[in-house]
Amino acid sequence: MFHLSDFLIYCFITAYTPGANNLLSMSNAARLGFRRSFRFNLGILAGFSVVMTVCTVCSTTLYTLLPRLKLTMQFFGAAYMLYLAWKVLKSPVNPSTDSSKEASFLSGMILQFANPKIYIYAVTAMTLYILPVYHSTGAIIGFTILLALIGASGSFVWALCGSVFCKYLARHAKGVNLMMAVLLVYCAAALFVQ
């Protein structure tokens, strides 16, 4: 059975917590403005889509060839979610504003190939939420697109909010981090409840 709420909680927390994409997007927008940093965010979306497609193909192939992998992936996925919850709970919200970085499409795209967070996001979402329930090519393609859009949306939102979002998080960082950490722990526990 597909647990839509658990899936969406996992996707949005992973997409909207601080990471390379989000912090660089916010930094670029704060430094250059949203319009001038928009190319960088489009690069993130393009790179995210490519990486998501590759991870989907690999996950689907492994899941099909090794059905026993599901329990192992559940444990690794739950462990990753608990690790992410710990990191979110302990993370300060202090983005750097390195003015030497160029907000280009290519730099945003290339960043995705060196960003381990999105690989883990893709493989975890596919093997734990989607592949156990959906087997048709159309559904898998649809979820791949949805995962890419949700994942990349975090960088657009962080860029849009720029310094305003940074100031809000700085004032309420502990509460926001605690809430996201608790939701990630819930997602990890929900993997084992059928």
pLDDT at 14 over 70: yes
Residue 115 has pLDDT above 90, yes or no: no
pLDDT at 134: 93
Length of the chain, please?
194
pLDDT at residue 1, rounded to an integer: 83
Q: What is the pLDDT of residue 98?
A: 47
Confidence category of residue 92, pLDDT binned at 50, 70, 90 = low
pLDDT band at 169 (very low <50, low <70, confident <90, very high): low
Cα(173)–Cα(17) distance, rounded to whole angstroms?
11
pLDDT band, residue 65 (cuts 50/70/90): confident
Domain extents for the chain?
Answer: 4-90+101-190
Mean pLDDT to the nearest integer, 88-104: 59
Residue 2 has pLDDT above 80, yes or no: yes
SS3 per residue for 87-126: HHHHCCCCCCCCCCCCCCHHHHHHHHHCCHHHHHHHHHHH
159-187: average pLDDT: 72
